[in-house]
């Protein structure tokens, strides 16, 4: 039995793997593989439509918010967002709470001015800044809602008078938020909602069409909206697996129900980290992520020993990011509580508790 704590691409529900595998061989009794049908056929059009509608339903989005499945991963959004929203002389406000935020800042600077309104870099990103000012004349505020590498998460979304844009790659649909309060949300699918190869973009259409620059066809959100997220050939299989995962999430009771389970899983692991003297947490307690639990051993010498012990017992993917060290257990939606219990028990036996 393998317990998969990988940070991304990461675990998906077993039923999703089964259905995806079956669809590769014979999609819906058509005698065709999902991999060999045209994206303009009614067969695939209904996949795209249902996937977009399920996102709207699960996130309770209003009619101003459009749902797109695009190529290029979350990293392409680092440039696509400012390209569509920021004039050369404009300023955008960015928060620097993880390496991902830093990368977003680098790309935004290619299109306009960036005001870094807060940063936790000095303390190796172990907390979420609280008191900072956001200029009213900035075009938008960009945040990374969950910081995958360092295990911090924004518990409260800043309330500002300008549009809020969020990279939700590692906590999308893992907790209830007022998603309509965001003007743009993007997320690589491979952490919570599907396989690698597609990213979800949710955009309030009213903020588009205001920049002066010419935008390449494939980069302009408006073109994708007009064509129902089928401007060119979409990553059909990745979208299909997202659809299966979204259906699964709905069956589980939706975002509110999965949030409850995510809280329970994280609480169990953090409790052991706090109670077991051989381990300690990395992020500041109040900002701890429900998705990526980062911790280390009190004695540096125990680190490689525990990693080997975990592997021997079928626990994979808990080595920390190469820039952060220690351990990172990712507890995404599809990870069962039983895997967390298993890891906690290993921590206990390792320390002889
Ligand atoms: C994983 C991740 C990314 C990068 O996603 P790609 O799809 O590989 O481009 C960006 N932001 C956050 C917060 C992430 O966790």
Model confidence at 322: pLDDT above 90? no
CA dist., res. 325 & res. 342, Å (int): 22
Instruction: Please state the separation of Cα 307 from the chain's center in Å.
Output: 25
Residue 261 belongs to domain with CATH number: 3.90.1150.10
Of 212, 232, 251, the domain-final residue: 251
CB 288 within 8 A of CB 270: yes
Beta bridge partners of 281: 295
Of 56, 51, 95, 79, the closest CA to residue 189 belongs to 51
> Which run of H or of E encompasses 161?
none
Model confidence at 325: pLDDT above 90? no
Q: Is the CB of 170 inside a 6 Å radius of any atom of ligand 1?
A: yes
Q: What are the structure tokens assigned to 39, written together?
A: 């994206």
Model confidence at 353: pLDDT above 90? no
Residue 56 belongs to domain with CATH number: 3.40.640.10
Q: Is the CB of 73 inside a 6 Å radius of any atom of ligand 1?
A: yes
Based on the domain organization, do 130 and 229 belong to the same domain? yes
Beta bridge partners of 295: 281, 327
Based on the domain organization, do 159 and 189 belong to the same domain? yes
Q: What percent of the chain has a predicted confidence (pLDDT) above 90?
A: 98
CA dist., res. 121 & res. 96, Å (int): 7
Beta bridge partners of 288: 152
Model confidence at 265: pLDDT above 90? yes
Q: Which residues contact 210 (CB under 8 A, 6 or more apart)?
A: 85
CA of 94 relative to ligand 1 center, distance in Å:
16
Helix (H, G, I), strand (E, B) or coil at 144: strand
Which atom of ligand 1 lies nearest, measured to the CA of 75?
Answer: 9
Q: Is the CB of 255 inside a 6 Å radius of any atom of ligand 1?
A: no
CA dist., res. 78 & res. 104, Å (int): 5
Q: Is the CB of 74 inside a 6 Å radius of any atom of ligand 1?
A: yes
Based on the domain organization, do 136 and 123 belong to the same domain? yes
Q: pLDDT at position 210, please?
A: 96
What's the pLDDT tens digit per position in 19-41?
999 999 999 999 999 999 999 99
Give the residue-averaged pLDDT of 176-186. Answer: 98
Q: pLDDT at position 157, please?
A: 96
Q: pLDDT at position 259, please?
A: 98
Of 262, 203, 224, 200, the closest CA to residue 54 belongs to 200
Least confident of 68-72, 229-233, 291-295, 321-325: 321-325
The residue whose CB lies within 8 Å of the most ligand 1 atoms, and thus the one to mutate among 72, 73, 144, 323, is: 73
Average pLDDT in the chain = 97
CA of 187 relative to ligand 1 center, distance in Å:
7
Number of domains comprising the chain: 2
């Amino acid at each position: 039995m393998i317990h998969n704590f990988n940070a991304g691409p990461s675990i998906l529900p077993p039923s999703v793997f089964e259905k995806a595998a079956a669809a590769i061989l014979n999609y819906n009794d058509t005698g065709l593989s999902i991999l060999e049908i045209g994206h303009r056929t009614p067969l695939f059009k209904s996949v795209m439509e249902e996937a977009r509608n399920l996102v709207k339903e699960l996130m309770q989005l209003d009619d101003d918010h459009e749902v797109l499945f695009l190529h290029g991963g979350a990293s392409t959004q680092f440039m696509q967002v400012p390209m569509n929203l920021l004039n050369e002389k404009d300023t955008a406000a960015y928060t620097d709470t993880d390496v991902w935020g830093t990368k977003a800042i680098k790309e935004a600077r290619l299109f306009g001015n960036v005001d870094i309104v807060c940063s936790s870099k000095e303390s190796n990103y172990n907390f979420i800044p609280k008191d900072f000012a956001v200029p009213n004349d900035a075009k938008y505020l960009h945040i990374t809602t969950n910081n995958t590498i360092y295990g911090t998460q924004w518990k409260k979304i800043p309330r500002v008078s300008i549009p809020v844009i969020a990279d939700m790659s590692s906590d999308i649909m893992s907790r209830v938020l007022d998603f309509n309060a965001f003007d743009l949300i993007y997320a690589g699918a491979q952490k919570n909602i599907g396989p690698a190869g597609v990213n979800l973009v949710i955009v309030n259409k009213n903020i588009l069409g205001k920049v002066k620059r010419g935008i390449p066809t494939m980069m302009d959100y408006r073109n994708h909206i007009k064509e129902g997220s089928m401007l060119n050939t979409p990553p059909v299989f990745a979208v299909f697996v997202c659809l299966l995962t979204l259906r699964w999430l709905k069956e589980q009771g939706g975002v509110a129900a999965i949030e409850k389970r995510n809280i329970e899983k994280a609480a169990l692991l953090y409790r052991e980290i706090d109670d077991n003297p051989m381990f300690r947490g990395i992020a500041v307690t109040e900002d701890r992520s429900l998705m990526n639990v980062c911790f280390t051993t009190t004695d540096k010498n125990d680190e490689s020993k525990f990693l080997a012990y975990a592997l021997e017992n079928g626990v994979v993917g808990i080595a920390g990011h190469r820039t952060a060290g220690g351990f990172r257990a990712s507890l995404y939606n599809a990870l069962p509580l039983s895997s967390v219990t298993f890891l906690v028990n290993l921590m206990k036996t390792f320390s002889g508790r």
